[in-house]
Structure formats: structure tokens, C-alpha cells
Structure 1
């Protein structure tokens, strides 16, 4: 296969520190990137034409190895915690030099110019330099794609240098181990070394937008999905992994704006990305037809197995990881909104998979309660998902995206509250988890019932029904909902042992209160007062 001609000016690479005379592949098409991956023996095609690869040692993000350079920009602005780990500036220079030298020695590198934020007022140009062609394909899928005219005078605001084959010396580099993702706001550079997991690229950009947009441009950055109805009515879906965020936002009757990252400006909401990065463990065409059909030529599928003797993916096989993923451009979704911009949302859904089985399947939150639940970011893992876990295990992730939030969660919650009150947005807490008892005793809420509840909320069919207040958490429970058995709407009614329900709901409430203590000093009293009562 012939090597494409260099299209990017060499002086631009030199200015980035890439003193290379090797083959530089610039702005290749998905087809060319797939062929380069196959040529290098680093992937195979499945029976639908998608590229299937393995990411190597890391099959997920490594949050303990993500660092923010601590300097005059970040020192007093970043909320330093277990996710925002500081790195001295001197180590940034050492790692950058190591990556530049490593990439200069690579026989080939792949460079792509792209951008984030569909709203052009907030556009951030990105240059991605990759050791691997399939990482460059991931960047093509996940970021927004400039036109040829825009590329003629393209100037990157941010640069990503990705060298998964470079193993760092932790002592020399100031890191925990041989891999790291390092962000410098001063030098507008992201360094990724020692990990082949593609999601590090996407989440590094999300992290920088979570710092820049709220702090400098008064845009609320959000870890959520978004879709829009035929009349332009927009809805947001927040939720941690396993709560149904991607599934429930992929509604064939509504346009998909995006499945993961959005900004809320004064006059609209907009996608940060140009693609989707969907979990595909247990994926079926029947349950998630849009995602299943999006896995076709140009898509990148990570860490899956084939059925023996075939090139058909066995989506039920989590032998490599439960975090199997597929990335694909938004235009692979037949009902994607173009451009990926929506109106001010009318409804917001906080999705939780409550394995304790005590939260209502749908409930209405007032603004203070919404801010409390937003900061809490609750879901629960079921027994058996981790060694030694024999009962449901609570997970709290601030603003449904704690690992990517450089600022104090209270800042994002404050912005959310202002927008909820200004635009009179309805906020719903939806439990996609268990009812009738905890995991092992009760059963999971039927997806058809959850869809009916969300549809009823979107269509205003819950506006006129009677509500009752939950005695512990305080949210309002509808007493009827089209398409849903009435007894399901109050979770206490579904438990055979009412005393057991009361004990479990108080147990969960205590966990909410204990978790919130870490944020109490950074939020106003009225948000604290919106928490559960025990």
C-alpha cells in the first residue's frame, strides 16, 4: 500500500516538538485508517464491516493516572481530589519530551485536525497526533469534522499527543506507574502515554471543556445524553454506567442530539462530540437497534470476542472486559439531529439503577432536590459484579461525572439550579433498577414500563395527575401513569415486607447523607436541606 503524501506543513509539526522525517498520515479517511490498521495486523473486520481491535493492557480509563498540571491557572481554581491529581510542571516537560522523542522514532504517525462543540461560538479546535491508526479513527468518529475549506487555515487550540507504546519511568516522570494522561491548561496540551484505551482521548477533552466552559464562558458542561421531539422539545438524560442513559435516549420517535457530553448555553444545548461511544456488552438488535445497526464500516469495536470459527461478535462475552465499546460517527444513527444542537430542555431525567429497590420508578424533583441529586449522582452495583460484593453497593459520582470535573461540584450544581429556575424545567428521578425488593429478592423494572413513564413525562401526561410525597427522600410520586400498573409507582407497595422496605430506604438515605458531607462546605444551606430525612 502506498504511503499518502504529507499534507500538514512540516513546520507545524516542528513547532509542536515533533522533529520527524518519517511518514506522517494527515486527515486520512476512515477507510484508509481501517486499511492501515489491517496492514499493521492490529485489527480485523467483523461480518458487518466494523473494525475490531483490542486496546491491550488497559480496557478502561485509569482515573488514578490522570493528572492536571498544577500552575498559576489551576492552583486555586481546580478542586483537587482523588480524580484531580496535581502534577508539577517540570514533569509535564519531561513527559512531553519523552512522547515527542518516541513519536519521532515511530515509522509512521497519524495526525488529525478536528474540533469540539457543535455551537460555533464555543468551538475548540483540536489536533490529535497518534501512534496508532485506530486511535486516529476513534478521533475521527468522536470529534467534529472540519470541512476542507476550514482545514486550509486550521489552527489548533489544543493538541493531543498519544503514544500508547511508550512506557514511562514513574520516578523520572512523577507518575504513579508507567501510564499517564496529563493535561496542561497553560500549554493547552494533553499527553497520553502507556495506555491504548481510546476513551482517554475523549475524556481528556471533556475534562478541559468542564474547566473552560463554566469558568470562562458561562456554559454548563454536562455528562448527559440529549434528544429532541418533532416540535423541537428537548430532553436531557443523566446517568452513570448501567442506568440506561444511551438506551433511553435512543428513541426512534425523537432525534438524537448526542449520547454523552453536552453544553447548556443561554439559548440552546449542544453536543461536544461528533460521535457515540456506546457500551456494547449484551448488545442485541432487538433491545438497542440504533446502536446495533451503527456498528458497520467505519465503526471501531473494542475488546470483544467472536463466536468461535466466525467473525460475528459475541456481545454477551465479557471475557476481556465488561466495558466493551463501539465508537461510530453520529451520522451512523438514522435519526441523528444535524447540527447536533437542541433547544433549552423542557425535561431532565436523572437515571439511577437502584439495586436496593427502594427508590420510586419515577418521581418529580423541585430545583433544590434536583441540585442535591445532581451533586450526589447515585446508582448501585449489583451483587456479583465485583469480588466479595454479596449485596448491592452504592456508587456516588458528583454531577454524574466526577472523574471529569476540575471545578467543585457545587459550581456545576449552582449553574444547573439557575437554569432550572429561569426556564421552569421539569426534573425527574427515574429508577431503572429493582422493585419489590433488593437485587436477589425483587426484580428489575421492565424497560417497557420505564419507557412508558418517560414518554408520559415528555408528553405532559403526568402534569395533571395527583402526586404524593416520599416520606424520606421528599420527591413527589405520581399516583397514576399511562401504561404502568399503579401499584408499581410507590415502591413500598411492591415489597412483601413493609418493615424491610422502611429499613432499607433509611439505610440508603444515610449513605446519601454521608456521601454529601464532602461537598457540604461548597454548597448553600438550601441544597443541604433538600436531602433525605432519617
Structure 2
């Protein structure tokens, strides 16, 4: 079956009497309640649960091995190949399944706030609440004319209740997330976790944007009153959403961006925030954004009041809130800004040995970007129940179809061209490793980031970390001086150094996988022990 035939089969589905296109948010909410897919919370948001799968399923993600892409993809455990023949057979089975549903929900919109580089997308959903999620996370057409221009879209076909048969379909389990670049299709089944749709489109943009000279980035972004743009790189749970939602700065976006020759633009039209332990006191903008039209995933509600209990982990620690950017007061619309002045790499260090903030040289910036060290936090993936040290290349390895050096070299060129300052910020543990120490206080992290953004750390006196060669400021307003140097927060300096050297060894071992990286990046950017 060729691409034209695949497209024709999809058109039949889209033109069926059971397909509802671009329903309004109120109508979709009514559908969710009518179909008993979710309930209303006390703030008017929809709460849905996702059953067995409360996080991404990376072992069930595939890319179709096609002639036009086979020599470009970085094949391996992240980008697993899937045959064209197997994809086509499974695709037809899913379409046949969806044709028999009483109702289907279709959203047409875009990925990419910059109209020069945006990608038309359409999302075909078995669930009404998934379609509501898509409306909140992606960019909605601004006018009927934009829908007319919505041509050759990349299509998500999502059938959560369709379970694959691995022996027949060639998958690893009942769950599958398969991308075909030639057929411009993402096929999802066997999982109700809505985040698979969001991250699949991000993976697609990570393949397409570099072809136009644009760096796709797993980061949040905001801009100050003087037009100074800041980027926050980091994996889920490291603080991207929290730290970018700054009342003193306007939010560009909380998770996915492109960096073009004109500046930074948001890939999405909404936010997908972790809401475990969420409070209005700590994160008022996020807390107040969760209202009518928003979607809560796996959040426990009071049986009578329907008030959310953000501290309850009954379903998962990976509780989520999806809401449009417009639900926040302090945003940039359209979500486009200039070139970054400051870049922050966020890590949640479970070893408790990295400084809470340090200044990076160009070589250190490239080393830590390629390394992407953090700790996977509970709930972000199936099977993760406690923090685990991990290295996720470019702070987004699960979403990078191309070799890591493609993205790293693009970032290096842009740092040079625009003179951005780069900082490494540890939002993880202090005073000991996970289980002994404590999580870094958010108020301290905010104070350090604010000082970095305001240029207060550009000329501050520093000390050199003995294990990693990082430059640690000796004073930051609002932060106790001893907190800045992790060795001083441990009961035993010997225990600290032993743990620091253990982590340094893991950095070095991980970096061996990069074969075509400049020797200066490894020797000048990595650990010194």
C-alpha cells in the first residue's frame, strides 16, 4: 500500500458520519461527561484517569524504516525500527477499528508559533478527552482562512482501546507509538496516556526543524521587561515549567521551542505541567490556570466537593495538568521572542553533589548539554518508582530522531553567535544523596535563577569545584552561602568526595558513546577527577 492509498483510507474515516471536527471546548467537555470519560472538578476542569499507563512507554515507540529516512535516523533503543509492511497492516487494522466506533473526534491545528516554520497537524481521537487535550496543547487555527491553508498535515491516529498483538503486529507489547515520516502519520494504540500525542509531535519537529536550520529544544522559555530571553533545559520534573512561570517575566512556553535565525518560538499552544504537590502559594500561575477547559490526568479528587488533592499519589506521582497558554496572565502572544541572553541547564541530582548553581564555559556547556544528566523522577515512565541517575542526551534523548551531535553543534554555534551565558542549576538534593539529604528549596533556586537572569553572577567571585571544575558563586542574594557549596552541606567531606567521584565516573563512562565530538569538549568541559 502506498502513501496515496493510506491517505485515501484516512479520508474515508475522516468523512464518516461519526467524525466530529474541531468541536468547541464546551461541546467537547459535554461529550467527555456524556461518555463518562471523566468528571468535572471544583474549578471546572475535566479530570480523567489513564488506567495502566500513567506515563510514557519508551520501549513501545518506533519509527518506520523508510528509504528517505533510514540513513538519517539514529537507530537504537530510543529509535527502534519498524517495517513498512508491518506498519501498513497495523494502520489498516486501527482504521477498521475506528470506523466501527460510534463517535470520533478530530482536531486540526498547528505545531510552531512562527508561521514560517509551523507544521499543520490533525489529531484523530477515539476519546473526547484526548481531543480536548489536543486542543489545549497544540496551536488552534486563528481564523477560517488558516483552516483553508491547513494542507498536507502530519496526522496522529489515536486508538487507546485498540490492543496490539505483538506476535502478529510486530510490536513489543499491546502498546505502540509508531511514526512514519513518509506517510506523515503517528499511530498510537494500547495506552490512554495523553502525553504520547504531545511528545510524538515533538519528536517529529526534532526531525523536521534542523532541515530548515532551526534548533528544536526541550526547554521552557520566558522573556523579561527588557526583552532578555531565557531558556530552561531539563527533563520532566527538573523545574522547567515551575521556573519559567515567573510573575516578573512573560512566559513564551513551558516545554518545547525552536531557535531560528530570528529568535525563539514556542512549538505548542499550551502547557502540560506536573502537578504533584501543587499549591497556589508556590506556583500561583499554574494553580490558577487549571479551570474550565483544562484537563487533569490521574489527579485524586474529593468524592463530594470534587476538589483536587495534588498531594495524593494514589494513581501516580506523574499527575498532570493540560491548559492553554491563554489561561495564564503573564504570557507572550504570539509566543515568539528574540535570541536568548541566558541559558539554564536544569538537573535533579539524586547524588546530591552538584552545586545548586554554577557558571559554565563554552566547553562545559557543550559537555553538559550532550550529557544531559539528571535523575528520572517517579512516574514519568512506567517502572520508575524512585529517582534514578540517568543521562539523557541534549536533555531530551527520547525525542531525538537524529544523532545528538546535530543538535549539540547547532546549540554551540548559536551560543557563539549570540553570546548567551550558560548556567548549570541543580534542583535536586542537598546535604546528602536521595534518601539522606533534602530536595533543594524552591525559594533558593528561584533566587539563584533570578540573579543569573539579572546579570548579578556575571562578575561575582567564584570558587572552582574540585571534582567537576565548575565555577561556583560564593554569594547569591537570598541564599545561605554554605548552600552554594555542596561539600559544606554534607556531614562528612569524605563521604561527599566519594559520592562526587562516583558520579564523575558515570559522566566519563557515558561520554564514551560520543565518537565524533571535539577533544576539547571532553577534556575542558568534563569532570576534573
Q: Fold match, TM over 0.5?
A: yes
Q: State the 1:454 CA deviation.
A: 0.8
Q: Write the mapping of 1:79-118 to structure 2, written as runs, cut at 5 A.
A: 79-118=74-113
- Tell me the alpha carbon deviations over residues 71-128 of structure 1, each in whole angstroms, 9 at most, x when there is no partner: 1122111111211000000011111111111111111111111000011111110111
Aligned pair 1:149/2:145, yes or no? yes
Question: How far 1:465 moved relative to its partner?
Answer: 1.4
Are residue 320 (structure 1) and residue 318 (structure 2) matched? no
Equivalent position of 1:447 in the other structure: 442
Deviation at 1:19, TM superposition (A): 7.4
Q: TM-score, normalised by structure 2?
A: 0.94
Deviation digits for residues 317-375 of structure 1 (CA, Å, limit 9, x no counterpart): 11111111110110001111101011100001111122222111110001111111111
1:356–1:392 Cα contact (<8 Å) kept: no
Q: CA deviation at 1:296?
A: 0.4
Cα gap change, 1:387/1:49 in structure 2, threshold over 3 Å: closer, same or farther?
Answer: closer
CA deviation string 1:247-301 (max 9, x = no partner): 1111011001000000011120110000001111111111111111111000011
2:518 equivalent to 1:524: yes
What CA deviation, in whole Å up to 9, does each residue of 1:190-221 have, x standing for no partner?
1111211111111111001101111x111110
Question: Cα gap change, 1:106/1:91 in structure 2, threshold over 3 Å: closer, same or farther?
Answer: same
Asked if 1:206 corresponds to 2:202, the answer is yes
How far apart, in 2, do the equivalents of 1:127 and 1:163 lie? 14
Structure 1 stretch displaced more, 302-311 or 312-321: 302-311
CA shift for structure 1 position 389: 10
Deviation at 1:308, TM superposition (A): 3.9
Corresponding position of 1:295: 290
User: Offset of 1:159 from its aligned partner?
Assistant: 1.2
* Partners of 1:83 and 1:279 in 2: CA distance: 23
What CA RMSD, in Å, does the superposition of the two structures yield over aligned residues?
2.2
Conservation of the 8 A alpha-carbon contact between 2:462 and 2:472? yes
Count of residues in Structure 1 that have an aligned counterpart in Structure 2: 522
Q: Distance in 2 between matches of 1:301 and 1:290?
A: 16
Change (3 A) 1:265 1:391: closer
Structure 2 residue 72 is the aligned partner of structure 1 residue 77: yes
Against the structure 1 CA distance between its residues 336 and 385, is the aligned structure 2 distance closer, same or farther, given a 3 Å change threshold?
Answer: closer
Residues in 2 aligned to 1:151 and 1:323: alpha-carbon distance in whole angstroms: 34
Question: In structure 1, what is the equivalent of residue 155 of structure 2?
Answer: 159
1:279 has 2:268 as partner: no
Aligned to 2:3: none
Q: Tell me the TM-score normalized by structure 1.
A: 0.94
1:175 aligns with 2:171: yes
Task: Please state how far the C-alpha of 1:475 moved relative to its aligned partner.
Answer: 1.6
1:244 aligns with 2:239: yes
Once the two structures are TM-superposed, the CA of residue 14 in structure 1 deviates from its matched residue by 5.4
Quick one: structure 1 residues 309 and 477, their matched pair in 2 at CA, closer, same or farther if it must change by over 3 Å?
A: same
**Aligned 8 A contact 1:239 1:400 in 2:** yes
Partner of 2:43: 48
CA–CA distance in structure 2, aligned partners of residues 413 and 478 of structure 1: 26
> Which residue of the partner structure matches residue 8 of structure 1?
none
Once the two structures are TM-superposed, the CA of residue 413 in structure 1 deviates from its matched residue by: 0.8
Q: Distance between the aligned counterparts of 1:445 and 1:196, measured in 2?
A: 33
Matching of residues 451-470 of structure 1 within 5 Å: 451-470=446-465
1:160–1:190 CA contact under 8 A, matched in 2: yes
Structure 2 CA distance, aligned partners of 1:179 and 1:454? 40
Q: Secondary structure at the match of 1:16?
A: helix
Hey, what's the Cα distance between the residues in 2 that align with 1:383 and 1:287?
21
Q: Equivalents in 2 of 1:296, 1:156: separation in Å? A: 34
Gaps of 5+ in 2: 1-6
Q: Distance in 2 between matches of 1:385 and 1:497?
A: 32
Aligned in 2, Cα 1:230/1:503: closer, same or farther, shift over 3 Å?
same
Offset at residue 381 of structure 1 (A): 5.5
CA–CA separation in structure 2 for the residues paired with 1:72 and 1:254? 46
- Residue in 2 that maps onto 1:138: 133
Contact kept? 2:54, 2:382, Cα under 8 Å: no
Partner residue in 1 for 2:508: 513
Instruction: Give the structure 1 partner of residue 4 of structure 2.
Output: none
Indicate conservation of the 8 Å contact 1:277/1:326, yes or no. Answer: yes
Contact 1:380 1:393 in 2 (8 A): yes
Deviation at residue 170 of structure 1 after TM alignment: 1.7
Matched residues in 2 for 1:359 and 1:19: separation? 52
